[in-house]
Each structure stands twice: as C-alpha cells, then as structure tokens.
A and B are shown apart, each in its own frame.
Chain A
Amino acid sequence: MFDKKSYTLYKFHKQINQSFQDKRELLECALPALRDLFKLDRVYFFNWQQERAILSLKMMCKKEYCMDMQEDISVANEPAFLRQLLQEGVAETTDLSYPALYVLIRWLRPTMELKGGEVRSIMREKVGVLRLERFRKNRVFTDSEIDLIKALGQEISHNLHNTEIDQAKNQRLSVSTALNDLSTIFASSLRLNDGLELILKGVQRYFHFDRVHLYLTNSDGTRIKSVLGVDISGVVTQESGDALGEEEKQILKEVFNSPATYRATRSVIYLPLKVQRTKVGLLTFDNILSRRKIGYLDFISLQQFATQMALTIDNARLFERVQELSNYDELTKLPVRRYFNEKFAEEIYRAKRFGLSLSLVIMDIDWFKQINDRYGHQVGDWALKAVSKIIRSSLRQTDVPCRFGGDEMMIMLPRTNSEEAKVIAQRLQERICSVVLPDRTALEPEHLSISQGISTYPSDGATAEELLEKADQALYVVKQRGRGDFAVYREVAEQVPQKPTEEENQ
C-alpha cells in the first residue's frame, strides 16, 4: 500500500508527467498543482542568472491563474540564505513577515557547441528556484511538508529536463525543415536575384531576425557589387555596393576576412560565403533593434546553410557568365546580333500592342577600313572599344545596342520618336568626335567620327526588316553626303537611290 507521501507524489507525477511544448506550459501546470496541494497563497518560479548571480522571477501563480512577473534578487544581498538553499535544497526566508519557502530545482539542458568544426551536444546544468508563500493565515511549513515539497521539486526538475530536450529536438527539426524548404525554393528559382530575395525573406521569417543582409561580391571577390537586405518591415531592398559608406566598407572588409562570427551579446551573426578561397558574398543577421539573443543552434544551422548557399550562388553566377558570353561580343561588350534580334522582335510587338513609338539607329565608324590599314588592327580594335564604351555609357537602361558586324553597330531605342532619336544620335556624335586615335606619329590629333541612319516605327516601317532597311538607307545618304553626320529616313527619303526595278535589272 502507498503511504500518504508516495500517493501524493504519484498523483503529482501523473499530473505533470506529460508532453509539454515548452517550460512555460509545464510551469502553468506544475505551479497550480503545488498551490492546491499545499494550500499556498502564491507560488513563484525564478530562473538563476549565473552571470549576474541573480534569481530572476519568471512566473507567479495565485488563485486560479499563472502570470508572467518580474523580480530580481541578488545573492550578494542574501549570502547565508543562498548557501543553505544550495546545500540543503530548501531554505526558509527570514526577511519576510510570513512563511515563505525556497526550493532549489536543478535540471540539465542540451546545448550545442562547435569545437574545431565539429558540432556536439553537451549538457549544462540549469538552476531554478520555487518560492512558496502562505501570507493569509501565516501557516508555517511543517517538516513533512518540506520533505514532500523537496520530492515534488525533483519531479519538476525531471520534467523540466524532458521538456527542454523535447523542445531542443523540435527546434532542431523545425530549423532543418525550414532550411530544407528554403534550399528547395532557392534551387527552383529561375533567376538568381529572385531566389536570393526568397531566401532572405524566408530566413528572416523562420528565425525572426530583425535584419538580414546579403553582400554579393564581383566575380573575383574583390569588391562588393550589390547588397540585398530585408528588415522587420519584410520589404526586400537592393542597392549597389558603391552606395556603402566607407566605415561600413571597412567593417565588411574585416568580417569578410574572418571566419564565421557569432556575437551573442550583440545579437549579430556574420557568415562569409566562400567557395574554395574565392569570396562569393557575406550574409549578416542581426537582432540589434529587438535585442533578442540569437541562439547558438541557429548559428550552426545557418553556417551549414551558408556553405550550401555559397555554392548555389557560385553555380548561378557561372551560368550567368556563360549566358553573358553567348549573348555579348567579347571585344566591345555589346550584345551580339542574335540577342539583339530577339529583343528587337519583342519591342516591336510591344510597340504595336500598346501603340508606342520605337526608333532604330544604324551606325558605323567613318573610314574604319583606312584606320585598320594605316595603324593596324590593334588600333582598329581600340577604336571599336572606345566607340562601344561611349555607346554603353550614353544610353538609357531600356535601350539595346548591338555589334552587328565589323564596325557596324545598331541601337534600338524603345518608346522613342524620331526627334528624340536625333537627340541621342547628336549626343553620340559629339562624344565620339572627341575621341582621338592613339597614334604618336601623326602631327595633328586624329579624331574618330561616326555616321548614323535612323528609322522610326510606325512612320518608316512596321516590321524589323523594314526598319532595318530604312535606317540603312538613311545611313547611305549620310555617307553620300560626306559622313560624320546622322539622318532620319523620313527626312532624306527623296535622296535615297531607288532600287532598280526587275525590268531594269533584266
């Protein structure tokens, strides 16, 4: 048969020995049970804060409910009391005017540690304290009650231990699932930028960071090319690396060259993204605004994720590079004809669909053959590069230039009528005319010049072929007039030599 103590313990065990989501839920069950068993007016649970040697109140239970509360008690103020509590597991307060009993609770919690790249679980002791109060009737705690309370305290310890292990397991599982989901989303994104945005948003959401930033480097890892960021508003922003302040650049340089950094007190994580020895980027996470600590387990999980992310970014970049090589001319860095034709067809469709204008400019460098013959191909290539550089820097983002072949280049100007196209042509003319050929033997500096022909949709043609032909004819007129100028087809149409008819050809 059970004695009274064993029976009470058994009942208490049945009451609290269940699966709890977290410590709070367990305490919400255990504290009222204690209150009822010992007819207490209030029961409190304190956490022991090792670094400040303080008992810090977490929860109070009275009457029918439990509530979060705050109270800090320094051990420095109560040294004898604490000694007794640690040695005997219970201590009665002498300061209060009513009976109050403190009961020590010890349990172990799993903690993740990283030693030399190896993740291992260790167990750390955690300490808490119960305070049981009877202030209404001032009924003192009897020895048998104290014995029983100590035994129940051990039962609570045991359950706290189990709950924390369960919680750690669940947390680990949910982090792994989250990161796995994110990797899948990232891998299935067609565009690198889209994928990165999803990753930043996902990581912020799963881990509740105030801010997540991804600094991406240029291809050789020497300079920050762009920065993607998301903050508590959940909006993703992107800016150029050039916009960073000097101080920020300096800090980034330092953390870039360091291994992964975890600053618990500052709630910051820096994770350099590297593939072999090349820097791909840098991920930073912070809780600077909320001051919430970032868990070490989160740090380790993110570190593993970052390695995978670095590889994916690197692969995506290689893919982009291959695409770039196939779409761009190696010498001039201008798109090639195939790419241009695709874009040209798309823009003509858009212009027709929405009733927009579109202009096409064909140009070539004046006397290019003579330049090649006189100064050699190296100077010819130099001239091509100089002209294309000016073209790239003089156009709007929506304009598409292309090297059509030899020294012939084309520019598609969406949403641009002939008057606006003339302004652009004039600007190019002026800028290119200021380029001097690098020939040291010439007495007079020799300037480059270009000739340009312009056609406009819909006035000069409705198809790509028509527009190309009209622009070419306008260019022909410019050349006939002595080069170094530009012309719009409609304005010089009468000067264009007529094609021989079939009869004349025969």
Chain B
Amino acid sequence: MILWVMPDSGAKTMEDYATLVALFKQEYPSVDLSVRVFTRNVLWRRIFTLKDPATEEMPDLIQIPHYWTALIVKAGIAENLSQLDPGLSLTDCLPLLKENCYQPGTKDMYSYPWWFDLSALHYRADHLKFVSSNPEEDLKTWQGLLSVCEALREQFGNIPGYYPMQNSDWRGSLSMRSALSCMWSRGLNFFTEDHAATLVGSKEFKEALRDYINLALKEYMPILRERGSLGTIVSGKASMMISRKQGISTFSARRGVRVRTLPVPATGEKSAAYLSGMNLFISTFSQHKKDALKFIKFCARPDMQLRYANMIEAFPAFEEAFEPFISSAPRLQVYKDILPTAHILPNMVIMGTVMEILKRVLAKCATQIVEHRFTQASLDRELDMTAKEIEFLLSIYKG
C-alpha cells in the first residue's frame, strides 16, 4: 500500500512518518505500507494526473488539505467512504472539520480528518519586555502589531539580519495562508454567501491583503532570502511570528526560548485564526482499499491522534483526543480561546485553484517588493484580474 503525504513536520518529516509506519506495522504486520512525501505543489499537480495509471505510481491513500475534498469528488478519484464502511462516523470530529469531508450538498463522505492546525501570533517574551509592558493588549490589533514591530526594530536593529517578524512561509515568500486571518478579521470571505460571486476584487479584500503585505513592505518581515539567514526567533534575529502551531513549537522546545502565544492581531473587529485541516482519502483505483481503511481508522483512534499530534506539533481532529491534548500543557490553554475564532476555507471544487491563483499574485508582489517596484495600484490591478478569473471559474464549475 502506498501513502502520498505532505511534509507535515518540515525537515524531520521522514523520521516522523517512519515512526508512524512502524507503529501501524506493529498492529498490522501483514500490511506493506510505503510513504511518498511531496510538497503541496507537486501533490496538487499529481491529483490531476492520478487517473492515468501509465504515468504515475498509483497511491492507495492520499493526504489532502481539507478544502480539496469537493475537487477529488469532482475528479472521480476518491472512494466513497460512506459506502466502503457505513460504520465510519464523524460524530466525534471537531464541528468545523466535518463539512469538509463530504461531497458538497450530500452526506457522502469522501475524506476523513487526520489532524489540524491553528494560526496564532507567537512572540519572545524576553524581547517584547523591552518594548511593551502589556503585549497581550498591545498585540490585540494589527496597528498595535505594526507599532510593536517598529519599536522592536529600534531596540534590536543593530543585530545583523534582525527582523521583528519571522517569516513562517516555507518558501520564505508572501503566503496567502498567512494573509487569511487579515481577511476574516474584517468579516470578509472569498465568496458571497451563496458562493455565486467572489469578493476578491472588493476594496475590503484589497485592504486586508495590504495589511499583511505591509509586514514585508515595511521590512518588518524578510522575504525571498536564504532560509538559514532569515531572522528566526531561535537565533534571536526575530521576535515574533504569525504561524501555525507547528511553526513555533520545535524552536521553543529546542533551545528553551520562552515563546508565548496570542491570537492573531485583529485587522478588523475581532481576531480570526486560520484552521487548516488535513484529511485522508482512498483512491478509487486502489487495490488495497481495506488496508487503506485500516490506516484511516488507525490514525483516527484517540491514542494515535494524541501521539501523532504531539509528534508533528499539530492538533488532534477528534474531540476525544483534542480535550486531553489541550489540557496536557499550560502553554496550549490559549488555543481554547483561539479555536472559537477559527475560520476554515470552504469545501468547493475551485477553492484549491483560487489559493493557487492568489499564491501567484503574492509571489509577484514579493518579487516586486524585493526589487523595490511594488505599488498598491499594481496589486489592485492584479486582484481585479484575479476576481475576473475566479468569476470565470465559478461560472464553469458552479463552486
């Protein structure tokens, strides 16, 4: 059986998967399980060529971001889990994650939750104490964040390569996933409620994106530099970072750096966190569907949920494991406040494409910023064109 996954825990991904596979094989020694790791980009491309057995190695199980479920159903590459095992239930699953397992508008389940993560603001308490007597208060709003960034730069500007914010994007570029909180915080969404039109071209959306881009524009956050040379919280070359939990925990544990966590500063009325869920689906073409189902059930078991979430520093997707996980460490208590502010990307056929298009827009912005030719007008123009592209997609795929 072949499992296609994404690098869930960065550079130690392979080691973590090796542990997981070993645990699985202890219980199911007769099942042969191999893991292939692909970046999200590669996996995105491969999803579309999965049907051609001549060109691809045929996977049995595939990890996907939660909002790709509608797409894999449309492409006809996912097995209907409700039919494969009518007993498979989502009763205990965290409510926000449930909708993303079904074919939209039906009760047919095509993907199953594995784990999820939440975005938050992390900061070095030893750095912040020089510029803020009350970080919780000062970092409530985006404006407050920018002011703290400015103060930090004045304080630590003499450290070579220092930036107030660490860039959490793996590519070291601007990332749409990091910008999502700015959008939701303003009460905005990608689409109108009926999913008939997009709001990407709206003034509010442009302003939300501008809030995030300002971090790079004002040089509070490095972009497109060597990863090793980026300002990091661990090396002391950065003091704050907006990232998922995975992005920060390893640093905190590794060097005893005291990192505290707060909700992402609000650009609008209230803070909003990005909840990114990871699901598993079984390929229609799999010859080992029963074994694949065993793996899904194995991963969903409370003990394995806890163990894997601890391993990759994410959150369990099921209540039975989530509660003990959150209660296991005082530093995790803050996520109890963050979870109710969480938003999730809608489960639509075109959602993955929309994220790809916006990634391209932000990549262009990043290049323009480092080459000092970025203008707000050029970004607005890009977003207007993007909105038209999304409207066209909506007209073809009806969401």
Contact = CB atoms under 8 A, between A and B. Distances in A.
A62 B45 CA distance: 25
A70 B39 contact: yes
Given A71-B227, A232-B74, 13 more contacts: A52-B364, A62-B11, A63-B14, A73-B225, A74-B223, A76-B370, A95-B161, A96-B228, A100-B228, A233-B75, A234-B76, A289-B71, A291-B357
A67 B172 contact: no
Given A71-B227, A291-B357, A97 B363 contact: no
A133 B41 CA distance: 25
Contact of B48 (A93, A135, A206, A210): A210
Contact of A54 (B44, B224, B393): B224
A208 interface: yes
B229 A96 contact: yes
Contacts of A86: none
Nearest to B349: A289
Interface in B207-241: 223-229, 235
A168 B388 CA distance: 35
A133 B229 CA distance: 13
Interface of B: 7, 11, 13-14, 37-39, 41-42, 44-45, 47-49, 51-52, 71, 74-76, 161, 170-173, 223-229, 235, 349-350, 353, 356-357, 360, 363-364, 366-367, 370-372, 392-393, 396-397
Contact of B363 (A52, A67, A78, A288): A52
A391 to B, nearest CB: 39
A65 interface: yes
A65 B14 contact: yes
| Ranked 3 nearest A-B pairs via Cβ | A95-B229, A74-B224, A96-B228
Contact of B45 (A65, A93, A292): A292
12 contacts: A54-B367, A67-B7, A68-B37, A68-B39, A72-B173, A73-B224, A74-B367, A77-B370, A95-B229, A232-B75, A289-B396, A292-B45
A292 B43 CA distance: 12
Nearest to A206: B52
A205 interface: yes
A77 B71 CA distance: 38
A78 B173 CA distance: 15
A73 B172 contact: yes
A133 B228 CA distance: 10
Contacts of A292: 45, 48
Given A70-B170, A208-B48, A97 B228 contact: yes
Contact of B353 (A97, A205, A234, A290): A290
- Give chain A's interface secondary structure class: loop
A77 B225 contact: yes
A95 B11 CA distance: 20
Given A67-B13, A67-B37, A290 B44 contact: yes
Contact of B226 (A63, A76, A95): A95
A77 B48 contact: no
Interface in A83-101: 93, 95-98, 100
A62 B76 CA distance: 36
Contacts of A65: 14
Interface in A225-241: 232-234
A264 to B, nearest CB: 14
A205 B54 CA distance: 10
Nearest to A248: B395
B393 A232 contact: no
A68 B370 contact: no
A133 B11 CA distance: 14
Nearest to A93: B226
Contact of B225 (A53, A95, A205, A210): A95
A57 to B, nearest CB: 8
Contacts of A232: 48, 74-76
Contacts of B74: 232-233
Interface in A47-67: 52-54, 57, 60, 62-63, 65, 67
B367 A289 contact: no
- Sorting the interface of chain A by its residue count into under 10, 10 to 19, 20 to 34 or 35 or more gives 35 or more
Contacts of A54: 224, 367
B38, B47, B349, B396 — most chain A CB neighbours (10 Å): B396
A93 B353 contact: no
A186 to B, nearest CB: 20
Interface in A272-288: 287-288
Interface string A200-227: 0000011010110000000000000000
Given A70-B41, A96-B228, A234 B51 contact: yes
A52 B365 CA distance: 11
Contacts of B37: 67-68
Nearest to B360: A291
A32 to B, nearest CB: 13
A69 interface: yes
A339 B210 CA distance: 71
Nearest to A286: B396
A191 B42 CA distance: 40
B145 to A, nearest CB: 24
A52 B373 CA distance: 13
Contact of B170 (A71, A289, A291): A71
Contacts of A53: 367, 371
Contacts of B360: 291
A135 B226 CA distance: 15
A60 B228 CA distance: 14
Contacts of B393: 288-289
B346 to A, nearest CB: 16
Nearest to A100: B228
A54 B363 CA distance: 11
A213 to B, nearest CB: 11
A72 B226 contact: no
B229 A289 contact: no
A192 B299 CA distance: 51
B370 A291 contact: no
B45 A290 contact: yes
A232 B172 CA distance: 33
Nearest to A211: B396
A60 B227 CA distance: 13
Given A54-B367, A93-B229, A72 B171 contact: yes
A65 B224 CA distance: 26
B7, B229, B363, B393 — most chain A CB neighbours (10 Å): B229
Nearest to A95: B229
Contacts of A72: 171-173, 224, 363, 366
Given A95-B228, A290-B353, A233 B370 contact: no
Contact of A233 (B47, B76, B170, B353): B76
A70 B229 contact: no
Interface string A85-122: 00000000101111010000000000000000000000
Given A76-B371, A210-B48, A288-B392, A68 B42 contact: yes
Contacts of A206: 52
Nearest to B227: A71
Nearest to A265: B360
A70 B45 contact: no
Contacts of B13: 67
B396 A288 contact: yes
A73 B48 CA distance: 28
Nearest to A51: B367
Nearest to A266: B389
A98 B13 CA distance: 23
A206 B52 CA distance: 8
A69 B39 contact: yes
